[in-house]
Amino acid sequence: MIFVEPAMTFSIRTTILVGILLSQGMSACTPQRRAGPTPAAQTSRAFPRVTIPGSEVRSLESSATGRSYDLYVRLPEEYEQKPGMKYPVLYVLDGQWDFKLLDSIYGGLYYDQFVPAMIIVGITYSGEDPDYGALRALDYTPVRDVFFPGSGEGGKFLAFFKEELIPFIESEYRADSSQRALMGSSFGGTFTLYALFAEPGLFRGYIAGSPIVTFGNRDVFKQEAAYAASHQDLPARLFLCVGGLEEIAGPVEEFMQVLRERDYIGLEMETRTIEGERHAGNKPEAYNRGLRFIFQGE
């Protein structure tokens, strides 16, 4: 049992009472802040959107695939000042993700004079809310895979490139038909390798980042072997890379070795394993190194 003296009880009560009165008095003397707009009210105002200078969006409906595509087109800064000039064209798969990344990478490389002025075309899908995962699995894969329902229409997508997209770009813009390049990562890299062996003359340069070489029971190995059975040459520049921490690093490096040993006439190839990176994080370095390689000497 704790006994408190009456005098001590009075002292404690007095102290508490004085503290309450002082705090109330200080509150009354403190200027009251006006209530500002809530975060919701602030975000309801319309502000200008961030845009990529020199870019525009075109749309193209494909009879080859039956799908509609949005094309993100970035023109060189000098385009209007040099009306007689034709430019290389870089076709970028997964434009919904990688077009803005390429704008930055290209800008730095062009400033440092590693690459020439070029037209960049990012390919993506039209519509309010496209299912990118399903659509790219459909377009970017050359064969069906039971683990990816709806896959296997890469042949149609390549026909779209050859018969519709490239003719459209080269009729609408001053594009150099001898300087086409194709770039893609993941399934985009898979399609890039497929295009290399299916239509080796369609593009001059190929940048394949982290291609899913295990897709379709290692179909790209079979495609390459079938090509090698009737060809000794492969006139193209290929940059092929993978992240060192990826699960597919081993199979991609195996495919790199297959191409080295094949020693195709006319094939200029650079391979790279990007240490410490995984599947998506390797793209900035992959695209930077790839662009420098396929345009070196230009």
Cα gap 57→107, rounded to integer Å: 19
DSSP code for 148: B
The 10 Å Cβ neighbour count of residue 16 is 10
Question: How far is Cα of residue 196 from the mean position of the Cα atoms in its chain?
Answer: 20
Percent of the chain with pLDDT over 70: 85
Sign of the Cα torsion 235, 286, 241, 209 reads negative
Strands 233-243 and 68-74: unpaired
pLDDT value for 31: 47
Q: Return the minimum-mean-pLDDT range out of 7-11, 65-69, 157-161.
A: 7-11
Tell me the pTM. 0.84
Cα angle: 270, vertex 273, 111; to 5 degrees: 60
The 10 Å Cβ neighbour count of residue 98 is 23
246-289: per-residue pLDDT in tens?
999 999 999 999 999 999 999 999 999 999 999 999 999 999 99
In CATH, the number for domain 55-294 is 3.40.50.1820
Q: Which residues pair with 207 in a beta bridge?
A: 183, 239
pLDDT bucket at 36, cuts 50 / 70 / 90:
low
**Does residue 38 carry a pLDDT above 80?**
no
pLDDT value for 20: 37
Cα gap 43→210, rounded to integer Å: 39
The 10 Å Cβ neighbour count of residue 79 is 16
pLDDT bucket at 43, cuts 50 / 70 / 90:
low
Cα gap 218→227, rounded to integer Å: 15
Instruction: Show the DSSP H helices in the chain as ranges.
Output: 6-29, 39-43, 95-111, 132-139, 154-160, 166-172, 187-198, 215-228, 249-262, 283-294
Residue 60 is inside which H or E element, if any? strand 55-61
The 10 Å Cβ neighbour count of residue 2 is 3
1-32: per-residue pLDDT in tens?
333 333 333 333 433 333 433 344 434 444 44
For 268, phi then psi, to 5°, come to -100, 120
